[in-house]
Chain A
Amino acid sequence: GAVVSQHPSWVICKSGTSVKIECRSLDFQATTMFWYRQFPKQSLMLMATSNEGSKATYEQGVEKDKFLINHASLTLSTLTVTSAHPEDSSFYICSATGLAGGLLTYNEQFFGPGTRLTVL
C-alpha cells in the first residue's frame, strides 16, 4: 500500500514551453500533497504544499506563477512549469500524505519516483 506514481518519469523540452507533471496516489486518498525539487547531489527542497480543493501554499522564493499547482482530487495533483528555462532543469518529486485505514500518519509522507526535467 501507500503507492505514489508520477508521470512522466522524464521529460525534455525547449526553453519557453510549459511542462505538466502529474502525481497520483494509487491506493489511498491524499489529503495533502507536496512538491519538492532536487538538484544533483543535493537534498530535497520543499516547493509547495497542496491541499485538495484549495490553493497551494508556496515556500519562500518559489514563484507561484511559474510553478502552477492544481490538486483537484484526493488522488491527483499536477505541477505545471510554465515558460521553462534551463535553470528549471531538476528532479521534481511529489509526496502524499493522508489517511488510509490507519496506515499513514500525518508525518509519514510517501514519495513518487520523481520526474527528471531537462530544459534545452
Chain B
Amino acid sequence: GQQLNQSPQSMFIQEGEDVSMNCTSSSIFNTWLWYKQEPGEGPVLLIALYKAGELTSNGRLTAQFGITRKDSFLNISASIPSDVGIYFCAGPANSGYALNFGKGTSLLVTP
C-alpha cells in the first residue's frame, strides 16, 4: 500500500502551546483522515478532508488537505492536558475502503 510518513514521532509540550504535525504520502490521496487514540482505546475520528486545499476545523483542531494531495497537516491550538494521546493520519488504501495509517505522533502535554 501507499506509504504514509508522519512527523514528528513524538512531542512533549507545555499546556497552552500550539501543536503542529504533518503527514506525507508517496501517492495521491482523495481523502485524508485524522484520528486520536488514547491508551487502551480504539482511534476516534477527529477530522475528515475530501478536497485538495480544504481547511477544516473541529474546535481547537484544524486540518488541511495539501494542494498536491500528497500531504496533510493537523494543528492543535492552546493545548490542554486532555489532548494527550497518539494522533494518526490515515488515507485510503489501494484495496477498497480500507485505510493506511501513519505511524502516529505521540503527544504529551504538561500542565
Nearest B residue (CB) for A46: B98
Which A residues are closer than 8 A to B by beta carbons? Answer: 4, 6, 32, 34, 42-46, 49, 57, 91, 93, 95, 97, 105-114, 116
CB distance from A9 to the nearest CB of B (A): 8
In the complex, what distance in Å separates the CA atom of A93 from the CA atom of B95?
18
> Cβ of A109: which chain B residues have Cβ within 8 Å of it?
45, 97, 99
Choice from B35, B45, B96, B100 contacting A32 with Cβ under 8 Å:
B96
Given A32-B97, A46-B98, A49-B97, are A107 and B88 neighbors across the interface (CB < 8 Å)?
no
Residue tally, chain B, CB below 8 Å to A:
24
Pair A49/B98 contact, Cβ less than 8 Å: yes
Q: Which of B48, B88, B92, B98 has the most chain A CB within a 10 Å cutoff?
A: B98
Which B residues are closer than 8 A to A by beta carbons? Answer: 31, 33, 35, 40-45, 48, 50, 88, 92-93, 95-104
Given A43-B103, A116-B40, are A110 and B98 neighbors across the interface (CB < 8 Å)?
no
> Cβ of A110: which chain B residues have Cβ within 8 Å of it?
45
Pair B101/A44 contact, Cβ less than 8 Å: yes
